Chains A and B, each alone.
Chain A
Amino acid sequence: METAFRKIDIDKYDEEVLRDEDLYDADPRDPGQVLEEARQRQAAVRSSLAKNDTAGALAVILDNAPYGPNVDEAKQITLSTLLTILNSTKATEITSVIKALTPDAQDTLMKYIYKGMAMPGWGDISGSVLLGWHEKLTEVAGVGSIVRAITDRRIV
Protein backbone atom coordinates (compact mmCIF):
# COMPACT_ATOMS: atom_id res chain seq x y z
CA MET A 1 0.00 0.00 0.00
CA GLU A 2 1.16 3.47 -0.77
CA THR A 3 2.00 5.23 2.50
CA ALA A 4 4.24 8.02 1.33
CA PHE A 5 1.31 10.42 1.41
CA ARG A 6 1.36 10.20 5.18
CA LYS A 7 4.66 12.04 5.22
CA ILE A 8 3.35 14.99 3.25
CA ASP A 9 3.39 18.16 5.31
CA ILE A 10 -0.24 19.13 4.85
CA ASP A 11 0.12 22.23 7.00
CA LYS A 12 2.10 23.72 4.14
CA TYR A 13 -1.08 23.87 2.10
CA ASP A 14 -3.20 25.38 4.85
CA GLU A 15 -3.05 29.15 4.70
CA GLU A 16 -4.61 29.49 8.13
CA VAL A 17 -2.38 27.01 9.92
CA LEU A 18 -1.62 27.94 13.50
CA ARG A 19 2.09 27.90 14.25
CA ASP A 20 3.69 27.67 17.68
CA GLU A 21 5.14 31.14 17.16
CA ASP A 22 1.63 32.58 16.83
CA LEU A 23 0.89 31.66 20.39
CA TYR A 24 3.46 33.79 22.16
CA ASP A 25 5.33 37.01 21.64
CA ALA A 26 8.75 36.30 20.22
CA ASP A 27 11.84 37.24 22.18
CA PRO A 28 12.86 40.69 20.90
CA ARG A 29 16.56 39.89 21.32
CA ASP A 30 18.42 38.21 18.49
CA PRO A 31 19.90 34.73 19.13
CA GLY A 32 23.50 35.95 19.23
CA GLN A 33 22.68 38.52 21.88
CA VAL A 34 20.77 35.93 23.92
CA LEU A 35 23.76 33.60 23.85
CA GLU A 36 26.09 36.41 24.87
CA GLU A 37 23.81 37.32 27.79
CA ALA A 38 23.60 33.68 28.87
CA ARG A 39 27.41 33.51 29.02
CA GLN A 40 27.60 36.74 31.01
CA ARG A 41 25.02 35.43 33.43
CA GLN A 42 26.95 32.22 33.84
CA ALA A 43 29.96 34.26 34.93
CA ALA A 44 27.86 36.44 37.23
CA VAL A 45 26.38 33.34 38.86
CA ARG A 46 29.83 31.90 39.49
CA SER A 47 30.92 35.02 41.30
CA SER A 48 27.66 35.15 43.30
CA LEU A 49 28.08 31.53 44.32
CA ALA A 50 31.66 32.20 45.35
CA LYS A 51 30.22 34.81 47.72
CA ASN A 52 27.63 32.26 48.94
CA ASP A 53 24.80 34.41 47.58
CA THR A 54 22.45 31.69 46.31
CA ALA A 55 19.36 33.88 46.17
CA GLY A 56 21.21 36.49 44.16
CA ALA A 57 22.60 33.88 41.78
CA LEU A 58 19.13 32.41 41.19
CA ALA A 59 17.60 35.83 40.59
CA VAL A 60 20.29 36.58 37.99
CA ILE A 61 19.86 33.35 36.06
CA LEU A 62 16.05 33.39 36.13
CA ASP A 63 15.71 36.96 34.94
CA ASN A 64 14.98 37.21 31.23
CA ALA A 65 15.60 33.52 30.61
CA PRO A 66 15.97 32.51 26.95
CA TYR A 67 12.92 30.97 25.27
CA GLY A 68 11.66 30.19 21.81
CA PRO A 69 13.45 28.74 18.79
CA ASN A 70 17.10 29.17 17.67
CA VAL A 71 18.58 29.74 21.12
CA ASP A 72 19.32 26.13 22.06
CA GLU A 73 22.87 26.81 23.16
CA ALA A 74 21.83 29.68 25.42
CA LYS A 75 19.10 27.47 26.89
CA GLN A 76 21.64 24.75 27.55
CA ILE A 77 24.06 27.11 29.29
CA THR A 78 21.26 28.57 31.41
CA LEU A 79 20.00 25.15 32.42
CA SER A 80 23.39 23.80 33.44
CA THR A 81 24.18 26.99 35.35
CA LEU A 82 20.85 26.76 37.12
CA LEU A 83 21.36 23.12 38.01
CA THR A 84 24.72 24.03 39.53
CA ILE A 85 22.95 26.50 41.81
CA LEU A 86 20.25 24.01 42.77
CA ASN A 87 22.86 21.38 43.52
CA SER A 88 24.97 23.62 45.71
CA THR A 89 22.14 24.95 47.88
CA LYS A 90 21.70 23.44 51.32
CA ALA A 91 18.33 21.76 51.80
CA THR A 92 17.54 23.94 54.80
CA GLU A 93 18.05 27.14 52.83
CA ILE A 94 15.81 26.26 49.88
CA THR A 95 12.58 27.74 51.23
CA SER A 96 14.09 31.08 52.17
CA VAL A 97 15.86 31.31 48.79
CA ILE A 98 12.58 30.64 46.95
CA LYS A 99 10.70 33.18 49.03
CA ALA A 100 13.22 35.84 48.03
CA LEU A 101 12.38 35.39 44.34
CA THR A 102 9.78 37.39 42.44
CA PRO A 103 6.62 35.49 41.38
CA ASP A 104 7.87 35.65 37.79
CA ALA A 105 11.19 34.08 38.74
CA GLN A 106 9.40 31.40 40.75
CA ASP A 107 7.39 30.41 37.67
CA THR A 108 10.54 30.31 35.56
CA LEU A 109 12.28 28.19 38.19
CA MET A 110 9.37 25.75 38.02
CA LYS A 111 9.83 25.51 34.26
CA TYR A 112 13.51 24.66 34.69
CA ILE A 113 12.76 22.06 37.35
CA TYR A 114 10.42 20.33 34.92
CA LYS A 115 12.94 20.70 32.13
CA GLY A 116 15.58 19.16 34.35
CA MET A 117 13.31 16.25 35.17
CA ALA A 118 12.49 15.76 31.49
CA MET A 119 16.15 15.33 30.52
CA PRO A 120 17.47 11.83 29.94
CA GLY A 121 19.33 10.80 33.07
CA TRP A 122 18.13 14.06 34.68
CA GLY A 123 21.19 15.92 33.51
CA ASP A 124 24.03 15.64 35.97
CA ILE A 125 21.86 16.06 38.97
CA SER A 126 20.38 13.61 41.39
CA GLY A 127 16.61 13.21 41.36
CA SER A 128 16.17 14.02 45.02
CA VAL A 129 17.58 17.51 44.52
CA LEU A 130 15.05 18.43 41.83
CA LEU A 131 12.20 16.78 43.71
CA GLY A 132 13.21 18.60 46.89
CA TRP A 133 13.17 21.95 45.10
CA HIS A 134 9.88 21.06 43.44
CA GLU A 135 8.26 20.30 46.77
CA LYS A 136 9.50 23.47 48.43
CA LEU A 137 8.61 25.62 45.44
CA THR A 138 5.08 24.20 45.34
CA GLU A 139 4.68 25.00 49.02
CA VAL A 140 5.57 28.64 48.38
CA ALA A 141 4.06 29.33 44.95
CA GLY A 142 1.21 26.80 44.97
CA VAL A 143 0.01 24.41 42.32
CA GLY A 144 -0.81 27.46 40.18
CA SER A 145 2.89 27.73 39.46
CA ILE A 146 2.93 24.15 38.11
CA VAL A 147 -0.06 24.96 35.91
CA ARG A 148 1.76 28.01 34.53
CA ALA A 149 4.95 26.03 33.87
CA ILE A 150 2.99 23.43 31.91
CA THR A 151 0.76 25.86 30.01
CA ASP A 152 3.32 28.43 28.96
CA ARG A 153 4.46 28.11 25.34
CA ARG A 154 7.53 30.21 26.03
CA ILE A 155 9.49 27.05 26.62
CA VAL A 156 12.83 27.55 28.32
Chain B
Amino acid sequence: MPPEVFTLAQIPITAHAFSANRKELAASLNSNDVRLYTRNGSEWTPTETLSEHDKLITSIDWAPRSNRIVTASQDRNAYVWTETPDPESGKLIWKPTLVLLRINRAATHVRWSPLENKFAVASGARAIAVCSFDEESNWWVAKHIKKPIRSTVLSVDWHPNNVLLAAGSADMKARVFSGYIKEVDERPAPSVWGSKLPFNTVCGEFSSPAGGWVHAVGFSPSGDILAFASHDSSITVVYPSGPAIFTIRLPSLPLVALSWISEESIVAAGHDCKPLVYAGSEQGWQEVGTLDDASSSKASEGPRSGFGGSGGVGRLKTGAFATFRDADTRGQSTLGGASSVSSDTKLNTIHQNTITSVRPYEEHGGYVTKVSTTGVDGTLVIWDTNEVSTLTGKMGGVRI
Protein backbone atom coordinates (compact mmCIF):
# COMPACT_ATOMS: atom_id res chain seq x y z
CA MET B 1 0.00 0.00 0.00
CA PRO B 2 1.43 3.42 -0.86
CA PRO B 3 1.87 5.82 2.05
CA GLU B 4 -1.05 8.03 2.99
CA VAL B 5 -0.06 11.68 3.02
CA PHE B 6 -1.99 14.40 4.86
CA THR B 7 -0.92 18.02 4.89
CA LEU B 8 -2.18 19.31 8.21
CA ALA B 9 -0.53 22.71 8.05
CA GLN B 10 2.25 24.73 6.48
CA ILE B 11 3.94 25.03 9.85
CA PRO B 12 5.91 22.44 11.83
CA ILE B 13 4.11 19.71 13.75
CA THR B 14 5.92 19.42 17.06
CA ALA B 15 4.15 16.30 18.28
CA HIS B 16 1.33 13.97 17.33
CA ALA B 17 -0.63 11.12 18.92
CA PHE B 18 -3.57 9.00 17.79
CA SER B 19 -6.55 7.76 19.76
CA ALA B 20 -6.86 4.00 20.24
CA ASN B 21 -9.20 3.53 17.27
CA ARG B 22 -7.01 5.80 15.08
CA LYS B 23 -10.08 7.91 14.19
CA GLU B 24 -8.86 10.88 16.16
CA LEU B 25 -5.55 12.69 16.14
CA ALA B 26 -4.00 15.13 18.59
CA ALA B 27 -1.29 17.35 17.15
CA SER B 28 0.55 20.44 18.18
CA LEU B 29 1.29 22.87 15.36
CA ASN B 30 4.31 24.59 16.87
CA SER B 31 2.08 26.48 19.30
CA ASN B 32 0.68 26.51 22.83
CA ASP B 33 -2.42 24.60 21.78
CA VAL B 34 -3.21 21.00 21.01
CA ARG B 35 -5.51 20.55 18.04
CA LEU B 36 -7.77 17.54 17.81
CA TYR B 37 -8.74 16.17 14.41
CA THR B 38 -11.30 13.59 13.35
CA ARG B 39 -10.81 11.41 10.32
CA ASN B 40 -13.32 11.98 7.52
CA GLY B 41 -12.44 9.59 4.72
CA SER B 42 -9.15 10.85 3.40
CA GLU B 43 -9.17 14.08 5.40
CA TRP B 44 -8.48 15.12 8.94
CA THR B 45 -11.01 17.71 10.10
CA PRO B 46 -10.11 19.93 13.05
CA THR B 47 -12.63 19.52 15.85
CA GLU B 48 -11.34 20.95 19.08
CA THR B 49 -8.50 23.00 20.47
CA LEU B 50 -7.08 22.24 23.89
CA SER B 51 -5.68 25.47 25.31
CA GLU B 52 -4.11 25.60 28.72
CA HIS B 53 -0.36 25.70 28.22
CA ASP B 54 1.23 29.09 27.91
CA LYS B 55 4.36 28.02 26.04
CA LEU B 56 5.15 25.71 23.15
CA ILE B 57 3.89 22.15 23.52
CA THR B 58 6.77 19.72 23.09
CA SER B 59 5.12 16.33 23.35
CA ILE B 60 1.72 14.62 23.37
CA ASP B 61 0.73 11.08 24.30
CA TRP B 62 -2.70 9.47 24.12
CA ALA B 63 -3.36 6.53 26.46
CA PRO B 64 -5.21 3.94 24.35
CA ARG B 65 -7.25 2.18 27.05
CA SER B 66 -8.03 4.94 29.54
CA ASN B 67 -8.48 7.48 26.71
CA ARG B 68 -6.52 10.23 28.41
CA ILE B 69 -4.19 12.69 26.73
CA VAL B 70 -1.07 13.98 28.42
CA THR B 71 0.74 17.03 27.13
CA ALA B 72 4.13 18.47 28.08
CA SER B 73 5.27 21.97 27.36
CA GLN B 74 8.09 24.45 27.62
CA ASP B 75 6.05 26.22 30.31
CA ARG B 76 7.39 23.45 32.65
CA ASN B 77 3.92 21.98 33.11
CA ALA B 78 2.12 18.86 32.04
CA TYR B 79 -1.64 18.44 31.80
CA VAL B 80 -3.69 15.27 31.79
CA TRP B 81 -6.82 15.71 29.68
CA THR B 82 -9.87 13.57 30.33
CA GLU B 83 -13.02 13.49 28.27
CA THR B 84 -15.90 14.26 30.64
CA PRO B 85 -19.52 15.40 30.12
CA ASP B 86 -20.02 19.12 30.53
CA PRO B 87 -22.30 19.64 33.58
CA GLU B 88 -24.48 22.14 31.68
CA SER B 89 -24.79 20.86 28.14
CA GLY B 90 -23.92 17.21 28.72
CA LYS B 91 -21.56 17.39 25.77
CA LEU B 92 -18.25 15.57 26.06
CA ILE B 93 -15.41 17.99 26.59
CA TRP B 94 -11.70 17.56 27.32
CA LYS B 95 -10.96 18.69 30.87
CA PRO B 96 -7.36 19.46 31.91
CA THR B 97 -5.75 18.48 35.22
CA LEU B 98 -2.50 20.16 36.09
CA VAL B 99 0.38 17.88 37.05
CA LEU B 100 2.82 19.15 39.65
CA LEU B 101 6.08 18.38 37.91
CA ARG B 102 8.33 20.49 40.18
CA ILE B 103 10.86 21.10 37.41
CA ASN B 104 12.48 24.45 36.68
CA ARG B 105 13.14 23.94 32.98
CA ALA B 106 11.06 22.98 29.97
CA ALA B 107 9.37 19.60 29.76
CA THR B 108 10.65 17.99 26.58
CA HIS B 109 8.97 14.62 26.16
CA VAL B 110 6.15 12.65 27.75
CA ARG B 111 5.00 9.02 27.53
CA TRP B 112 2.28 6.99 29.29
CA SER B 113 3.46 3.76 30.90
CA PRO B 114 2.02 0.56 29.37
CA LEU B 115 -0.51 0.15 32.22
CA GLU B 116 -1.44 3.84 31.92
CA ASN B 117 -1.20 4.40 35.68
CA LYS B 118 2.01 6.43 35.35
CA PHE B 119 3.72 8.66 32.86
CA ALA B 120 7.24 9.96 32.54
CA VAL B 121 8.14 13.54 31.66
CA ALA B 122 11.64 14.30 30.40
CA SER B 123 12.91 17.78 31.05
CA GLY B 124 15.69 20.29 30.68
CA ALA B 125 16.09 20.31 34.46
CA ARG B 126 18.40 17.24 34.17
CA ALA B 127 15.59 15.17 35.56
CA ILE B 128 12.80 12.82 34.59
CA ALA B 129 9.55 13.28 36.48
CA VAL B 130 7.76 9.97 36.95
CA CYS B 131 4.15 10.85 37.69
CA SER B 132 1.53 8.67 39.33
CA PHE B 133 -1.97 9.39 40.55
CA ASP B 134 -2.40 9.95 44.27
CA GLU B 135 -5.94 8.82 45.09
CA GLU B 136 -6.01 10.46 48.51
CA SER B 137 -5.36 13.97 47.33
CA ASN B 138 -6.88 13.41 43.87
CA TRP B 139 -3.72 14.69 42.25
CA TRP B 140 -0.91 13.60 39.93
CA VAL B 141 2.35 13.61 41.87
CA ALA B 142 5.87 13.45 40.48
CA LYS B 143 8.98 11.66 41.67
CA HIS B 144 12.27 12.70 40.15
CA ILE B 145 14.98 10.58 38.58
CA LYS B 146 18.02 12.83 38.80
CA LYS B 147 21.23 10.91 39.13
CA PRO B 148 23.43 10.60 37.17
CA ILE B 149 21.82 12.74 34.46
CA ARG B 150 24.14 15.59 33.49
CA SER B 151 22.06 17.46 30.94
CA THR B 152 18.66 17.85 29.29
CA VAL B 153 16.71 14.63 28.82
CA LEU B 154 15.39 14.57 25.27
CA SER B 155 13.31 11.40 25.15
CA VAL B 156 11.87 8.63 27.30
CA ASP B 157 10.42 5.21 26.57
CA TRP B 158 8.75 2.66 28.86
CA HIS B 159 9.65 -1.00 29.17
CA PRO B 160 6.61 -3.29 28.78
CA ASN B 161 6.92 -4.26 32.48
CA ASN B 162 5.67 -0.76 33.45
CA VAL B 163 8.71 -0.18 35.67
CA LEU B 164 11.84 0.33 33.59
CA LEU B 165 12.33 3.55 31.73
CA ALA B 166 14.82 4.38 28.98
CA ALA B 167 16.04 7.94 28.63
CA GLY B 168 18.16 9.67 26.02
CA SER B 169 19.99 12.75 27.11
CA ALA B 170 22.08 15.65 25.82
CA ASP B 171 24.98 14.46 27.99
CA MET B 172 25.63 11.97 25.13
CA LYS B 173 24.23 8.97 27.01
CA ALA B 174 21.26 6.66 26.83
CA ARG B 175 20.30 5.16 30.18
CA VAL B 176 17.87 2.65 31.57
CA PHE B 177 16.35 3.57 34.93
CA SER B 178 13.91 2.00 37.30
CA GLY B 179 10.73 4.04 37.58
CA TYR B 180 9.34 1.75 40.29
CA ILE B 181 6.77 3.46 42.50
CA LYS B 182 5.81 1.50 45.56
CA GLU B 183 2.24 2.77 45.79
CA VAL B 184 1.17 1.80 42.27
CA ASP B 185 3.55 -0.87 41.00
CA GLU B 186 3.80 -4.55 41.64
CA ARG B 187 7.29 -5.87 42.07
CA PRO B 188 8.56 -6.58 38.54
CA ALA B 189 9.89 -9.98 37.54
CA PRO B 190 13.67 -10.09 37.04
CA SER B 191 14.66 -9.24 33.48
CA VAL B 192 17.84 -8.82 31.47
CA TRP B 193 18.09 -5.36 33.01
CA GLY B 194 18.34 -6.62 36.58
CA SER B 195 16.30 -8.05 39.40
CA LYS B 196 16.41 -5.53 42.26
CA LEU B 197 14.85 -2.36 41.06
CA PRO B 198 14.19 0.37 43.63
CA PHE B 199 13.34 3.79 42.19
CA ASN B 200 16.17 5.54 40.30
CA THR B 201 18.33 2.38 39.94
CA VAL B 202 20.54 2.80 36.89
CA CYS B 203 20.20 -0.48 35.00
CA GLY B 204 22.32 0.51 32.05
CA GLU B 205 24.31 3.43 30.72
CA PHE B 206 25.48 3.61 27.11
CA SER B 207 27.50 6.33 25.38
CA SER B 208 26.78 7.45 21.89
CA PRO B 209 29.61 6.23 19.63
CA ALA B 210 31.01 9.60 18.51
CA GLY B 211 29.78 11.98 21.16
CA GLY B 212 26.38 12.95 19.80
CA TRP B 213 23.52 13.82 22.11
CA VAL B 214 20.86 11.13 22.18
CA HIS B 215 17.68 12.14 20.36
CA ALA B 216 15.55 9.05 20.64
CA VAL B 217 15.41 5.86 22.68
CA GLY B 218 13.22 2.81 22.39
CA PHE B 219 12.75 -0.61 23.96
CA SER B 220 12.01 -3.51 21.65
CA PRO B 221 8.53 -5.06 22.02
CA SER B 222 9.90 -7.63 24.51
CA GLY B 223 11.85 -4.95 26.35
CA ASP B 224 15.05 -6.99 26.16
CA ILE B 225 16.76 -4.79 23.58
CA LEU B 226 17.38 -1.06 23.61
CA ALA B 227 17.92 1.14 20.58
CA PHE B 228 18.96 4.77 20.50
CA ALA B 229 19.69 7.32 17.80
CA SER B 230 22.13 10.12 18.41
CA HIS B 231 23.24 13.32 16.74
CA ASP B 232 26.54 11.82 15.59
CA SER B 233 24.54 10.27 12.73
CA SER B 234 24.40 6.86 14.28
CA ILE B 235 21.94 4.35 15.63
CA THR B 236 22.94 1.89 18.33
CA VAL B 237 21.26 -1.35 19.36
CA VAL B 238 22.09 -2.79 22.79
CA TYR B 239 21.60 -6.37 23.97
CA PRO B 240 22.26 -6.16 27.71
CA SER B 241 22.30 -9.93 28.21
CA GLY B 242 25.10 -10.52 25.67
CA PRO B 243 26.31 -7.98 26.34
CA ALA B 244 26.46 -6.95 22.70
CA ILE B 245 26.30 -3.44 21.29
CA PHE B 246 25.86 -2.77 17.59
CA THR B 247 26.45 0.65 16.13
CA ILE B 248 25.54 1.71 12.63
CA ARG B 249 27.22 4.86 11.38
CA LEU B 250 25.04 6.58 8.83
CA PRO B 251 26.47 8.17 5.72
CA SER B 252 23.60 10.67 5.96
CA LEU B 253 22.26 13.23 8.43
CA PRO B 254 21.25 12.28 12.01
CA LEU B 255 18.10 10.42 12.95
CA VAL B 256 15.91 12.04 15.59
CA ALA B 257 13.05 9.58 16.09
CA LEU B 258 12.69 5.82 16.06
CA SER B 259 10.09 3.15 16.57
CA TRP B 260 10.51 -0.62 16.86
CA ILE B 261 8.30 -2.52 14.45
CA SER B 262 9.22 -6.02 15.58
CA GLU B 263 11.85 -7.71 17.71
CA GLU B 264 14.17 -7.63 14.70
CA SER B 265 13.45 -4.32 13.01
CA ILE B 266 13.27 -0.58 13.61
CA VAL B 267 11.96 2.37 11.64
CA ALA B 268 13.93 5.56 12.25
CA ALA B 269 13.82 9.00 10.68
CA GLY B 270 15.25 12.45 11.05
CA HIS B 271 17.02 15.20 9.19
CA ASP B 272 17.12 13.25 5.95
CA CYS B 273 13.34 13.47 5.71
CA LYS B 274 12.79 9.80 4.93
CA PRO B 275 12.10 6.87 7.24
CA LEU B 276 14.85 4.25 7.17
CA VAL B 277 14.43 0.62 8.16
CA TYR B 278 17.05 -1.25 10.19
CA ALA B 279 16.98 -4.95 10.82
CA GLY B 280 19.14 -7.40 12.69
CA SER B 281 19.54 -9.81 15.54
CA GLU B 282 22.07 -10.63 18.20
CA GLN B 283 24.46 -11.39 15.34
CA GLY B 284 24.44 -7.88 13.96
CA TRP B 285 22.37 -5.01 12.62
CA GLN B 286 22.21 -3.23 9.29
CA GLU B 287 20.18 -0.82 7.26
CA VAL B 288 17.79 -2.60 4.92
CA GLY B 289 16.23 0.33 3.11
CA THR B 290 13.69 3.09 3.25
CA LEU B 291 9.90 3.30 3.31
CA ASP B 292 10.02 6.32 1.05
CA ASP B 293 10.27 4.74 -2.36
CA ALA B 294 11.43 7.69 -4.43
CA SER B 295 11.08 5.94 -7.76
CA SER B 296 7.37 5.36 -7.37
CA SER B 297 6.57 8.81 -6.03
CA LYS B 298 8.66 10.25 -8.83
CA ALA B 299 6.63 8.65 -11.53
CA SER B 300 3.61 10.79 -10.78
CA GLU B 301 5.40 14.05 -10.27
CA GLY B 302 8.16 13.96 -12.83
CA PRO B 303 11.88 13.83 -12.21
CA ARG B 304 13.14 15.76 -9.24
CA SER B 305 16.52 16.51 -7.96
CA GLY B 306 17.82 18.64 -5.18
CA PHE B 307 19.42 18.03 -1.85
CA GLY B 308 17.88 14.63 -1.33
CA GLY B 309 18.71 13.67 -4.89
CA SER B 310 21.01 10.76 -4.45
CA GLY B 311 20.70 9.40 -0.98
CA GLY B 312 23.43 10.17 1.49
CA VAL B 313 26.77 9.49 -0.06
CA GLY B 314 28.23 12.05 -2.39
CA ARG B 315 25.19 14.21 -2.40
CA LEU B 316 27.23 17.37 -1.98
CA LYS B 317 27.54 17.28 -5.74
CA THR B 318 23.87 17.71 -6.41
CA GLY B 319 21.36 20.48 -6.02
CA ALA B 320 22.48 23.59 -4.25
CA PHE B 321 26.14 22.61 -4.39
CA ALA B 322 26.08 22.31 -8.17
CA THR B 323 24.21 25.59 -8.45
CA PHE B 324 26.90 27.47 -6.57
CA ARG B 325 29.70 25.67 -8.38
CA ASP B 326 28.23 26.60 -11.74
CA ALA B 327 27.77 30.18 -10.63
CA ASP B 328 31.39 30.23 -9.54
CA THR B 329 33.17 28.43 -12.35
CA ARG B 330 30.95 29.16 -15.33
CA GLY B 331 29.32 32.41 -14.32
CA GLN B 332 25.87 30.87 -14.61
CA SER B 333 23.64 32.70 -12.23
CA THR B 334 20.28 31.67 -13.64
CA LEU B 335 18.83 28.32 -12.88
CA GLY B 336 17.16 25.84 -15.17
CA GLY B 337 17.13 26.35 -18.93
CA ALA B 338 19.95 24.57 -20.66
CA SER B 339 21.69 23.95 -17.35
CA SER B 340 21.71 20.41 -16.12
CA VAL B 341 20.90 21.67 -12.65
CA SER B 342 17.26 21.65 -11.83
CA SER B 343 15.79 24.77 -10.28
CA ASP B 344 13.35 22.58 -8.42
CA THR B 345 13.76 23.00 -4.68
CA LYS B 346 11.46 20.11 -3.93
CA LEU B 347 13.06 17.23 -2.10
CA ASN B 348 13.07 13.77 -3.51
CA THR B 349 11.19 12.57 -0.43
CA ILE B 350 7.57 12.72 0.68
CA HIS B 351 8.35 14.72 3.79
CA GLN B 352 9.78 18.04 2.69
CA ASN B 353 11.60 18.71 5.95
CA THR B 354 12.98 16.97 9.02
CA ILE B 355 10.84 14.19 10.47
CA THR B 356 10.56 14.76 14.21
CA SER B 357 8.25 11.98 15.30
CA VAL B 358 7.75 8.31 14.36
CA ARG B 359 5.00 6.32 16.07
CA PRO B 360 3.44 2.88 15.62
CA TYR B 361 0.05 3.21 13.91
CA GLU B 362 -1.26 -0.29 13.29
CA GLU B 363 -0.25 -3.62 14.77
CA HIS B 364 -0.86 -7.13 13.56
CA GLY B 365 0.18 -10.20 15.52
CA GLY B 366 2.91 -8.41 17.46
CA TYR B 367 4.26 -6.78 14.31
CA VAL B 368 3.76 -3.09 13.59
CA THR B 369 2.38 -2.99 10.06
CA LYS B 370 2.03 0.77 9.81
CA VAL B 371 3.85 3.72 11.33
CA SER B 372 2.97 7.39 11.29
CA THR B 373 5.44 10.25 10.96
CA THR B 374 5.15 14.00 11.33
CA GLY B 375 7.74 16.66 10.84
CA VAL B 376 8.74 20.23 10.34
CA ASP B 377 6.94 20.36 6.99
CA GLY B 378 3.50 20.09 8.63
CA THR B 379 2.77 16.77 6.97
CA LEU B 380 1.45 13.57 8.53
CA VAL B 381 2.34 10.39 6.65
CA ILE B 382 1.17 6.86 7.39
CA TRP B 383 3.58 4.27 6.01
CA ASP B 384 3.20 0.56 5.36
CA THR B 385 6.21 -1.04 7.05
CA ASN B 386 6.32 -3.87 4.51
CA GLU B 387 7.02 -1.49 1.67
CA VAL B 388 10.77 -1.36 2.12
CA SER B 389 12.79 -0.41 -0.90
CA THR B 390 16.54 -0.63 -0.83
CA LEU B 391 18.53 2.55 -1.06
CA THR B 392 20.88 1.18 -3.68
CA GLY B 393 17.97 0.30 -5.91
CA LYS B 394 16.64 3.77 -5.44
CA MET B 395 19.91 5.41 -6.32
CA GLY B 396 20.02 3.35 -9.49
CA GLY B 397 16.62 4.68 -10.38
CA VAL B 398 17.74 8.23 -9.83
CA ARG B 399 20.62 7.90 -12.24
CA ILE B 400 18.31 6.81 -15.04
Contacts and interface: CB of A to CB of B under 8 A. Distances in A.
A25 B207 contact: yes
Which of B207, B213, B232, B254 has most chain A Cβ within 10 Å? B232
B253 A139 contact: no
A16 B207 CA distance: 20
Interface SS of A by simple majority:
helix
Contacts of A135: 316
A147 B233 contact: yes
Contacts, number: 79
B27 to A, nearest CB: 29
Contacts of A140: 313
Contacts of B317: 139
B316 A143 contact: yes
Interface residues of B, number: 26
Contact of B249 (A18, A139, A148): A148
A122 interface: no
Interface string A15-32: 010100011110000000
A138 B122 CA distance: 35
B394 interface: no
Which of the four size classes fits the interface of chain A?
A: 20 to 34
Contacts of A141: 251, 313
Given A142-B252, A144-B250, A18 B171 contact: yes
Contact of A151 (B151, B207, B212, B252): B212
B172 A24 contact: yes
Interface string B119-158: 0000000100000000000000000000000110000000
Interface of B: 126, 150-151, 171-172, 207, 210-213, 231-234, 249-254, 312-317
30 contacts: A16-B126, A18-B151, A18-B171, A22-B171, A23-B211, A24-B207, A25-B207, A103-B249, A138-B316, A139-B313, A139-B317, A140-B313, A141-B251, A141-B313, A142-B251, A142-B252, A142-B315, A143-B251, A143-B252, A143-B253, A144-B249, A144-B251, A145-B251, A147-B232, A147-B254, A151-B212, A152-B210, A152-B232, A153-B172, A153-B211
